[in-house]
A = this chain, B = another copy of it.
Amino acid sequence: MISLLDIRTRIADGTLSAADSVRAARERIAARDARIGAVLRTAPEAAVPDTGPLAGIAVGIKDIIDTADMATECGSAIHAGWRPRADAAIVSRLRALGAVPLAKTATTAFAGLDPAATVNPHDPDHTPGGSSSGSAASVAAGMLPLALGTQTGGSVIRPAAFCGVAAIKPSFRLLPTVGVKTFSWALDTVGLFGASVADIAHALALIADRPGIETAAPERPRLALCLQDFAGSPDADALVALERTARAAERAGASVRDLVLPEPFARAWAAHPTVQDFEARQALAWEYAEHRDALPPVLRGQLDRAQDLSAADYDGARREAHRARRLLKELFSDVDAILTVSSVGRAPHGLGSTGDARFNRLWTLMGVPCVNVPVPGDGLPLGVQVIARFGDDGRALAVARAIEGALASA
């Protein structure tokens, strides 16, 4: 993979130019993407900024995020060829930092569950996960050092785990979603994919203009190991990887205790789809009313069922979320981070499904920062998920970095 920090170091010491770095990204896409299908289109050739803290960084932009210089098709024929007038806020922010939003990356239709055409760079017979399929795969395949995705259920952490890349779903609304096609406004969160935790911490600190995100460093992290029983069991090798991570963290100085999430979290977990689908019904009302037949089957069925949700269902689901959020705040009073699996297991075989978000969706509903840390090993990638309290993205990243280091030296 291509490290953002490595590129920046080489640019700083004069051994690489920003323009050459971006050109190299174009060449890697041209050489590698035919077999992966992560990149839908690239920006027209243009002058590459040579100043700014992210100069020379080519970024993949999930294709539900507006770009003024490239079509934004939301993974659907309904929006084929669509050119937004303006860049999304997050794209403008990248440009202001000197980065080049170089490529639009494949998304499942409207960031739903119907698969995109992308394959897993580690094995083309396996899904890369979704909905941010192309963003995760483009980083995993070493084409881009940074990519933007979004998560409503598990659409950042799951593909990151399946593709073996570092990723963060930040605290809710840490990054602006203006200009991002909405699925659920209470859940949709812009996230980052990169080659390492340090890379995404550096990028997030700059994009959010919060230097503390990169410098936070709890000395001996207090970790709570958590299984989310209400979501069912992960695969055996995911549990082994989680356990191995916990032991490596302990050896590196962390304390680890078990955490069983009390009942209100199970109820919040169960409430997530109601919040999501009640809002999706409104957010995608035009597509459903005018182009229902052109919607892919899983999303169409989901929206069909969502027509029956009532405002009372939605209010009830939001109340469950509020209760669990209050409780989670208390849980974090003596815990730096929760450690749990990033996904059910390795990327499933076949391209007919993007996998399951059941170990992610509670945390999206809670709005808390989640980081995927790849767990080194044989076969397709596995990841662990590091979760911190709302607003403390720096702590989540610091703990994740410590874990990444502990795993590397284990």
> Which chain A residues have a beta carbon within 8 Å of chain B's beta carbons?
68, 79, 82, 85-89, 91-93, 95-96, 173, 176-179, 182, 185, 208-210, 279, 282-283, 285-287, 289-290, 310-311, 315, 391
Contacts and interface: CB of A to CB of B under 8 A. Distances in A.
Contacts of A176: 185, 279, 282-283
Nearest to A285: B92
18 contacts: A86-B287, A88-B286, A89-B283, A89-B285, A92-B282, A92-B285, A92-B286, A92-B289, A93-B285, A96-B289, A173-B185, A176-B185, A176-B279, A178-B182, A178-B185, A179-B286, A208-B311, A209-B311
Nearest to A67: B286
Contacts of A287: 86
B178 A282 contact: yes
Contacts of A289: 92, 95-96
Contacts of A89: 282-283, 285-286
A143 B68 CA distance: 37
Contacts of A96: 285, 289
Q: 10 smallest A-B Cβ distances: which pairs? A: A92-B285, A86-B286, A87-B286, A89-B282, A176-B282, A178-B182, A178-B283, A92-B286, A210-B311, A82-B85
Nearest to A210: B311
A71 to B, nearest CB: 11
A82 B177 CA distance: 21
Contacts of A208: 311
A240 to B, nearest CB: 40
Contacts of A210: 311
Interface centre among A86, A87, A93, A391 (most CB of B within 10 A): A86
Contacts of A86: 286-287
A78 to B, nearest CB: 8
A210 to B, nearest CB: 5
Nearest to A287: B86
Nearest to A309: B209
Given A68-B290, A91-B286, A178-B182, 14 more contacts: A82-B85, A86-B286, A89-B285, A92-B286, A92-B289, A93-B282, A93-B285, A95-B289, A176-B279, A176-B282, A179-B286, A209-B311, A210-B311, A315-B391
Nearest to A209: B311
Contact of A185 (B177, B286, B315): B177
Nearest to A91: B286
The listed residue with most B CB atoms (<10 A of its CB), out of A85, A96, A176, is A85
Nearest to A82: B85
Contacts of A391: 315
A93 B68 CA distance: 28
Contacts of A315: 391
A178 B182 CA distance: 7
A179 B284 CA distance: 10
